[in-house]
């Protein structure tokens, strides 16, 4: 392909709304162009890379035995009503009506759609297992679309769904997909780590997210470098011991703390460390107030709290409710003697046995000193659990070594769904005794467009993108320095043809531009291999070949007739 025959726009300036490097480079290198917030057009270069990522995903899915289909984006509301998700998906789902007032959604995912399909096609155990997948555009009205393709309103997802006869068979499929995912991301040039994640409304279901570690990642991940434990902070636990009883409890005492509400304010007012404080927050779990107490220097993990309470919904209580159940406004509430004596109180495990703590007095402007949680509150042993967000320095729940926290970009997720959807749809098969049995499901998502950008976030430098050969828009860029000299053009054309004959894709920068401009653009777009073909070079012995990832000093001068073989080796390596 000749540069002058394609449509490439590179930009010198970063887009105004870009916060992270990969977003800046996506736009500057002419991979995508923004239409509006969370909506992007894939330009010719971007389309080539996107198709390469898709091809890798498709190849691995096919090899894993999954069957490709494509289902409508426009999904009738009845499907979603069958599982109740028409109401519970909330504002994230784009809903619309057709001219006949029939309600529908732009698919944010497709569990309902695929279960409805399988219910009507599968009748016997002989047809199972079966795994179906599609690579289809998804729509989510994200609260905060940002970071380019990372969190957009319209994005390309590979979504796969497996159907098995029982949980044991479903487990086997799960791991087949898990390993396919490892290969997919490795082939895209990414190091993606599987981490344990929370099963969401699917309860304790097993699920792994695949994360590309990067400071720009939106998720926090707890890691143990000693044993390999890795979990999303939503799910991560720590080995926590009850508070050591190193001191004896003092007399409880009321202290006036005017205008000091936050832990920081109260601790600086009293001149004590924040860990001596108990942070007390009132939540509404399924509409009923509950107080949760954690050490003053730690944060409540809403996901773990919700699971511990067995609640379907969980949110912070409003000011009025806080006042009603405690007798004070937020900032002065605590576990000792709240005005509502039936208020359920729960606490983080590290507070079990804690003495001499400072808590809100349930009276505006006051705190209590020397609180012994056992002596002075209604907390019983069963009310303590691991309820805080794991932090660096916590103890690994598996091996007891120290946890570190990293940031990750979620590029994929594998999930055991059990029978949640198949029960709702009554998707059953007949076993060999002709009894009806509910099909057991799994689902498997890859953010194809997010993966494309994750490659850039993972692999770039100050000059631009560094594409791995597998997903580079063109694997080779020939910078043709003297497009007006027939001899030089001939060498370039022959090399282009020789590379294409080897199945390597090439772009020839044949623009009437200065070499500096061509080198800058080649670096910005980041084609895997750069070849310089120019009159001066040819008289000095040949063409110059270098990987984008290599320093200039590594440039090889190669005879034109050897160049294709050298480049092929570089790409393979
Ligand atoms: P997130 O937690 O980032 O919102 P999710 O867990 O809700 O994502 P899934 O339902 O697991 O997303 O979707 C499968 C994959 O689709 C994700 O692993 C991610 O790579 C991708 N994805 C999800 N939402 C978006 C989005 N708004 N823009 C781009 N890719 C997305
Ligand atoms: Mg996910």
Cα gap 407→405, rounded to integer Å: 7
Secondary structure (3-state) at 106: strand
pLDDT of 203 > 70? The answer is no
CA angle 235, 459, 229 (to 5 degrees): 25
Q: Note if the bond before 129 is cis, omega within 30 degrees.
A: yes
CA of 155 to the centre of ligand 2 (A): 14
158, 410, 449: residue to mutate for ligand 1 pocket, most atoms within 8 A of CB: 410
Cα gap 406→232, rounded to integer Å: 10
For residues 443-479, one letter each, b for 16 or more C-beta atoms within 10 angstroms of the residue's C-beta and e for the rest, the string is bbbbbbbbbbbbbbbbbbeeebbbbbbbbbbbbbbbb
Of the candidates 457, 389, 403, 395, the one whose C-alpha atom is nearest the C-alpha of residue 230 is: 403
Q: Give the lowest-confidence range in 261-265, 397-401, 465-469, 514-518.
A: 261-265
Predicted local confidence at residue 201, as pLDDT: 74
**pLDDT tens column, 322-348:** 999 999 999 999 999 999 999 999 999
CA 184 from centroid of its chain's CA atoms: 16
Of the candidates 209, 204, 207, the one whose C-alpha atom is nearest the C-alpha of residue 220 is: 209
Predicted local confidence at residue 266, as pLDDT: 86
Confidence class for position 261, pLDDT limits 50, 70, 90: confident
How confident is the prediction for the chain on average, in pLDDT? Answer: 95
* Atom 22 of ligand 1: nearest residue by CA position: 447
Cα gap 549→468, rounded to integer Å: 9
Both tokens of 338, joined, read 């709240």
26, 447, 457: residue to mutate for ligand 1 pocket, most atoms within 8 A of CB: 447
Q: Give the strand order in the sheet containing 384-385.
A: 314-316, 278-285, 288-295, 344-348, 384-385
Alpha carbons within 13 angstroms on the beta-carbon side of residue 55 total: 9
Predicted local confidence at residue 245, as pLDDT: 66
**Ligand that lies nearest to the alpha carbon of residue 409, given by its number in the listed order:** 1
Longest dimension (CA), the chain: 96
CA of 188 to the centre of ligand 2 (A): 19
Average pLDDT over residues 526-543: 96
Q: Give me the helix-helix angle, 560-572 and 486-501, nearest 10°.
A: 40
Q: How distant, in Å, are the alpha carbons of 207, 272, 369, 479 from that of 414? A: 6, 46, 48, 43
| Atom of ligand 1 minimally distant from the CA of 157 | 16
CA of 327 to the centre of ligand 2 (A): 40
Dihedral over alpha carbons 384, 370, 249, 378 (to 10 degrees): -40
Question: Secondary structure of the chain: what % helix, strand, coil (to 5)?
Answer: 30, 30, 40
Of the candidates 356, 463, 453, the one whose C-alpha atom is nearest the C-alpha of residue 410 is: 453
Q: Within 10 A of 403 (CB to CB), how many other CB atoms are there?
A: 23
CA of 156 to the centre of ligand 1 (A): 10
CATH 3.90.960.10 domain range(s) in the chain: 253-385
CATH, domain range 47-211+405-454: 3.30.930.10
CA of 548 to the centre of ligand 1 (A): 30
* Atom 3 of ligand 1: nearest residue by CA position: 410
pLDDT of 393 > 70? The answer is yes
CATH, domain range 474-572: 3.40.50.800
Residues β-bridged to residue 191 = none
CA of 238 to the centre of ligand 2 (A): 22
pLDDT of 41 > 70? The answer is yes
Secondary structure (3-state) at 545: strand
Residue the block writes with tokens 């949110």 = 315
Predicted local confidence at residue 136, as pLDDT: 98
Cα gap 281→299, rounded to integer Å: 10
Main-chain dihedrals φ then ψ at residue 194, nearest 5 degrees: -75, 130
Residue the block writes with tokens 């012994």 = 372
Of the options 3.90.870.10, 1.10.10.10, 3.90.960.10, 3.40.50.150, the CATH number for the domain spanning 253-385: 3.90.960.10
**pLDDT tens column, 352-390:** 999 999 999 999 999 999 999 999 999 999 999 999 999
Ligand 1 neighbours (beta carbon < 6 A): 109, 140, 142, 151-152, 155, 157, 410-413, 445, 447, 449-450
pLDDT of 509 > 80? The answer is yes
CA of 394 to the centre of ligand 2 (A): 25
Predicted local confidence at residue 243, as pLDDT: 73
CATH 3.40.50.800 domain range(s) in the chain: 474-572
Both tokens of 484, joined, read 């007006």
Both tokens of 427, joined, read 């998707």
pLDDT of 199 > 90? The answer is no
* Atom 19 of ligand 1: nearest residue by CA position: 447
Q: How distant, in Å, are the alpha carbons of 24, 218, 321, 454 from that of 215? A: 15, 8, 39, 12
Higher pLDDT among residues 246 and 129, named by residue: 129
pTM reported for the whole predicted model: 0.94
Average pLDDT over residues 156-175: 98
CA of 200 to the centre of ligand 1 (A): 14
**Ligand that lies nearest to the alpha carbon of residue 153, given by its number in the listed order:** 1
Q: Give me the helix-helix angle, 167-187 and 44-63, nearest 10°.
A: 140
Average pLDDT over residues 120-126: 97
Main-chain dihedrals φ then ψ at residue 213, nearest 5 degrees: -75, 125
DSSP codes, 497-526: HHHHHTT--EEEE--S--HHHHHHHHHHHT
CATH 3.30.930.10 domain range(s) in the chain: 47-211+405-454
**Ligand that lies nearest to the alpha carbon of residue 92, given by its number in the listed order:** 1
**Ligand that lies nearest to the alpha carbon of residue 412, given by its number in the listed order:** 1
Main-chain dihedrals φ then ψ at residue 357, nearest 5 degrees: -100, 160
Q: Which residues contact 486 (CB under 8 A, 6 or more apart)?
A: none
**pLDDT tens column, 265-317:** 888 888 888 888 999 999 999 999 999 999 999 999 999 999 999 998 999 99
* Atom 28 of ligand 1: nearest residue by CA position: 151
């Amino acid at each position: 392909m000749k540069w002058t025959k394609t449509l490439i726009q590179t930009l010198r300036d970063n887009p105004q709304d870009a916060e992270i490097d990969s977003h800046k480079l996506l736009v500057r290198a002419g991979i995508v162009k923004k239409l509006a917030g969370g909506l992007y057009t894939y330009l010719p270069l971007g389309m080539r890379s996107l198709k390469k990522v898709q091809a890798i995903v498709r190849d691995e899915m096919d090899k894993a035995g999954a069957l490709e289909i494509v289902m409508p984006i426009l999904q009738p509301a009845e499907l979603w009503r069958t599982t109740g998700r028409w109401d519970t998906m909330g504002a994230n789902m784009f809903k619309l009506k057709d001219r006949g007032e029939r309600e529908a959604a732009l698919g944010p995912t497709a569990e309902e759609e695929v279960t409805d399909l399988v219910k009507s096609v599968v009748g016997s155990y002989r047809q199972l297992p079966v795994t179906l997948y599609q690579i289809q555009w998804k729509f989510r009205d994200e609260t905060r679309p940002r970071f380019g393709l990372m969190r957009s309103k319209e994005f390309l997802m590979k979504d796969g769904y497996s159907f098995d006869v029982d949980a044991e068979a479903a487990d086997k499929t799960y791991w087949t997909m898990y390993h396919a995912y490892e290969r997919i991301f490795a082939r895209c040039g990414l190091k993606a780590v599987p981490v344990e994640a929370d099963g969401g409304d699917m309860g304790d279901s097993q699920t792994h997210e695949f994360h590309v570690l990067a400071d720009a990642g939106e998720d926090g991940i707890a890691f143990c470098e000693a044993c390999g434990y890795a979990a999303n902070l939503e799910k991560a636990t720590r080995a926590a011991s009850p508070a050591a009883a190193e001191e004896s409890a003092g007399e409880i005492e009321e202290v006036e703390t005017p205008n000091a509400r936050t832990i920081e304010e109260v601790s600086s007012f009293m001149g004590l460390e924040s860990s001596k404080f108990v942070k007390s927050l009132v939540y509404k779990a399924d509409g009923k107030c509950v107080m949760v107490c954690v050490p003053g220097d730690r944060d409540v993990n809403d996901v773990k709290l919700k699971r511990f309470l067995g609640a379907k919904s969980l949110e912070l209580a409003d000011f009025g409710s806080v006042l009603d159940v405690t007798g004070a406004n937020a900032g002065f509430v605590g576990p000792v003697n709240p005005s509502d004596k039936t208020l359920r109180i729960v606490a983080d495990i590290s507070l079990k046995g804690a003495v001499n703590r400072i808590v809100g007095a349930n009276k505006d402007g006051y705190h209590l000193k020397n609180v012994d949680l056992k002596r002075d509150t209604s907390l019983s042993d069963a009310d303590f659990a691991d309820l805080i967000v794991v932090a660096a320095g916590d103890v690994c729940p598996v091996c007891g070594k120290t946890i570190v926290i990293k940031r990750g970009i979620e590029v994929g997720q594998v999930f055991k769904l059990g029978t949640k959807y198949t029960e709702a749809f009554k998707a059953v098969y007949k076993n060999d005794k002709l009894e009806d049995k509910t099909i057991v499901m799994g689902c498997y998502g890859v953010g194809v467009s997010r993966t494309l950008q994750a490659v850039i976030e993972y692999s770039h430098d100050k000059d631009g993108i560094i594409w791995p050969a597998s997903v580079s828009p063109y694997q080779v860029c020939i910078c043709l320095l003297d497009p007006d000299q027939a001899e030089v053009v001939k060498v370039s054309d022959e090399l282009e043809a020789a590379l294409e004959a080897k199945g390597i894709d090439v772009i020839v920068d044949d623009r009437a531009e200065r070499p500096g401009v061509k080198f800058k653009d080649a670096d910005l777009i980041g084609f895997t291999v750069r070849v310089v073909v120019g009159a001066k070079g040819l008289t000095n012995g040949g063409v110059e070949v270098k990987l984008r990832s290599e320093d200039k000093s590594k440039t090889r001068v190669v005879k034109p007739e050897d160049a294709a073989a050298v480049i092929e080796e570089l790409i393979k390596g």
